[in-house]
Amino acid sequence: TFDPFHYYSYDDQMKYLDFVASRRVSFVTQGIIGYSSERRPIKFLRIGFPSRQFKPALVIEAGIHAREWIAPAAALYAIHELTTDGVYENLLKTIDIYVIPNTNPDGYEYSRQHDRLWRKTRSGPRGPQRCFGTDGNRNFPYFYAFDGTSRDPCSDIFHGDGPLSEPEMAGLSRFLLAHKKTIRGFISVHSYGGNILYPWGHKKRTYPDDVRDLIWAGNRMAAAVERVHGTKYKVENSADGLYPAAGATDDYAKSIGVKYTYTMELRPTESENLAKRGFELPPQEIKPAVEEAFEGMVELAIIIRNER
Ligand code: 0X9
Ligand code: ZN
Closest ligand 1 atom to Cα of 135? 3
Which CATH code for domain 10-306? 3.40.630.10
| Burial tier of 151 (Cβ tally within 10 Å: 0-12, 13-18, 19+) | exposed
The residues annotated as belonging to the active site are 265
Question: Tens digit of pLDDT for each residue in 269-283?
Answer: 988 877 767 999 999
Length of the chain: 308
Distance in Å, CA 48 to ligand 1 centroid:
29
Distance in Å, CA 26 to ligand 2 centroid:
34
Cβ–ligand 1 contact at 297 (below 6 Å): no
Q: Break the chain into its structural domains and give their ranges.
A: 10-306
pTM reported for the whole predicted model:
0.98
Q: Which ligand is closest to the CA of 138, given by its number?
A: 1
ipTM of model over 0.90: yes
* Bridge partners for 57 per DSSP: 96, 183
Where does 162-256 show beta strands of DSSP type E?
Answer: 183-193, 195-198, 234-237
Cis peptide before 144 (omega within 30 of 0): no
In the chain (308 residues long), the average pLDDT of successive 10-residue segments reads 97 98 92 98 98 98 98 98 97 98 99 98 98 99 98 98 98 98 98 98 98 98 98 98 98 99 96 81 97 99 96
